Structure 1
Amino acid sequence: MATGLHRPVSAPAAVHVAGLTRSFDGRAVIDRLELDIAPGEFVALLGRSGCGKSTLLRILAGLDRDIQGTVLVPRRKAVAFRAPRLMPWKRVWRNVVLGLPGRPERAVAVRALTEVGLDHRTDAWPKTLSGGEAQRASLARALVREPDLLLLDEPFGALDALTRIKAQRLVGELWQRRGCAVLLVTHDVEEAVLLADRVLVMDEGVIAQEQTVALDRPRDITDPRFAEIRTVLLRQLGVDDDTPATG
C-alpha cells in the first residue's frame, strides 16, 4: 500500500520531493530522495542503469504510487517515453488527442502537430512514420495537454544520430517557447549538458551530484566550458576517459 503523499503543487516549485522511498521486494531503489525543480527549469537526470531514474520519473508522472515520502507535482503534466507508444489502429491526429477529456476536435491535434513540424502527417497511420516522426507525434501528444511539467524518459534513445540531433533541437525550442518545467532522463552526458539548466547524477537511490550548466544558448559542444562540464559529469559517473558515457 502507498504510504506517501502524491498531490499537485503550486509555485514557487514545479516539483517538490522529500524523503521519497520506493522499494521492490524489500530493496530500496529510491532511498529518501530529495528533489526540487523550479517552474520553467530544464533538469536532466543521469545515472547508471538500474539506479532508479525511470522509477523516479514514473512516480512524478503518477504512474507509481506505492511510495513513502512526499511528492508534489503540477496537476498538468505529461510524459514522453523512449517508445512513442502510438496506437497502430488510430491515425496520427487521433493518437495525439487520445486520453484528453471530452471529444477534442481535430484542430487541437493539428496545432500540436504543427508545433513539432508534423502537420503534414496528420492523417497518416503510425506504421508509416519514421522513427523521428513517431517521436515527434509522441511529443505532440504530450504538448497537447498544456503541461506545466514535461517528463521525458530517454525519448531519443532509439533514434539514429542525425535524427537524434534534430529531436534534441526541437525539444530545446519547444521548452523555450512553452516555458514549462522539464525533467529529462537520459544516458547521454552530452545531451544533458546541451539541453539542461541543471544536471543531476543519481546513484544508489539518491541525487548524489548536481551540476549547474551556466552556458549561453544555443550551446556549442566545441566550447571548452562545455567540454569541462561534460568531463566533470563523466567522472561523477565513474567514466575516466573522454569517451561518451552510456550510463
Structure 2
Amino acid sequence: MATDVHGPVAPGAATAAPASAASAAVRVTGLTRSFDGRAVIDRLDLTLRAGEFTVLLGRSGCGKSTLLRVLAGLDREIEGEVLVPQRRAVAFQAPRLMPWKRVWRNVLLGLPGRPAREHAERALAEVGLEHRTDAWPKTLSGGEAQRASLARALVREPDLLLLDEPFGALDALTRIKAQQLVARLWQRRGCAVLLVTHDVDEAVLLADRVLVMDGGRIAYDTQVPLERPREVGDPGFAALRNRLLAELGVL
C-alpha cells in the first residue's frame, strides 16, 4: 500500500536554516512511482538539508520531474514515504500565468483567504518586477513572465522551493540574469531549493550539492566545494563539470 506523507519533517522544520545545519528539509524513503507497470522512480532514498541549494541532473525520462512533482504534492500515486515542509512552492519552465488576470493577481493565485495586493507587490519588487504589477501577462517578455512565476512562488514564504527547468525557454542572456536572480533570492531567503535542469554549467554555478539521477534512483551525489561567485574558466569548475558529464554518459 502506498504511504504518502506530506507535512513538516519535524517540529520547527518550517524555519529555514543555514546550509551547514544538520536538520532536513526533505526526507524520502523507499519512494516508488510507476506508470503502466514501469517504475520511473524505483525505491529512491533522499535527504535534502534545510537551506541547501541542490541541483538534480539526469537524462530525459530518468524521473527528475516526477520526483519534483511528488515533492510538490502534485503526484500522490506513490509507494514509500515522503516528508516535506508544509510551506513549499514550485515554479515550472512554463510560467503558467492566467491571461485574464493582471500580474499581481496571478502572484496571489491559489493563496488561501483574501490576501492583500501588498503581498504581491512585495514579492514582485523582490524579483525586480514592481513596474509591471498591473500589466497583463501577454505584455510580458519571457524573462518577465518567469520572474512573475518566481514571485508567485516566493509570496508563499516557502521553506522548500522547487524549480523545474525554469530557465529552459529563455534566451542565453536572459537565462544568465535569471540564474543570478535565483541565486540572490536563495541567499536572501535561506530556504532549501531543488532545481531540476539539463544544464551542467548551471548546476555547477548555482548548487551546494549536485545529484545525478539514473534508472529512477540517485546514481551520483556530490558537494560543490567551489567558492561563490563561480567562474566557468576556473579549473575546479571545469573538473567538476567534466565529472558530471561523465556521470551523465556524455564523456
Same fold (TM over 0.5): yes
C-alpha distance in 1 between matches for 2:151 and 2:63: 27
SS in structure 1 of the partner of residue 180 of structure 2: helix
Q: Does 1:172 align with 2:171?
A: no
- Equivalence for 2:170: 159
Instruction: Report the residue type matching 1:238 in the other structure.
Output: G
* 1:25 alignment partner, one of 20, 36, 39: 36
SS in structure 1 of the partner of residue 194 of structure 2: strand
C-alpha distance in 2 between matches for 1:222 and 1:211: 20
- Equivalence for 1:103: 114
Aligned length: 239
C-alpha distance in 1 between matches for 2:226 and 2:36: 42
C-alpha contact 1:21 1:67 (8 A) present in aligned 2: yes
Instruction: Report the residue type matching 2:79 in the other structure.
Output: Q
C-alpha contact 1:19 1:32 (8 A) present in aligned 2: yes
C-alpha contact 1:153 1:185 (8 A) present in aligned 2: yes
C-alpha distance in 1 between matches for 2:159 and 2:196: 17
- Equivalence for 1:68: 79
C-alpha distance in 2 between matches for 1:175 and 1:42: 8
C-alpha contact 1:96 1:144 (8 A) present in aligned 2: yes
Distance apart, 1:220 and its partner CA = 1.1
- Equivalence for 1:206: 217
Structure 1 unmatched runs, 5+: 241-247
C-alpha contact 1:190 1:230 (8 A) present in aligned 2: yes
- Equivalence for 2:202: 191
Distance apart, 1:219 and its partner CA = 1.0
1:190-236 alpha-carbon deviations (Å, 9 max, x no partner): 00010010000000000000121011111111111011000000000
- Equivalence for 1:245: none
Runs of 4+ displaced beyond 3 Å = none
C-alpha distance in 1 between matches for 2:225 and 2:89: 27
Instruction: Report the residue type matching 1:7 in the other structure.
Output: H
Structure 2 unmatched runs, 5+: 14-22
C-alpha distance in 1 between matches for 2:226 and 2:246: 20
Distance apart, 1:38 and its partner CA = 0.5
- Equivalence for 1:131: 142
SS in structure 2 of the partner of residue 66 of structure 1: coil
- Equivalence for 2:6: 7
Q: Which moved more, 1:211-220 or 1:34-43?
A: 211-220
Give the TM-score of the pair, scaled to structure 2.
0.94
C-alpha distance in 2 between matches for 1:146 and 1:110: 14
C-alpha distance in 1 between matches for 2:198 and 2:161: 18
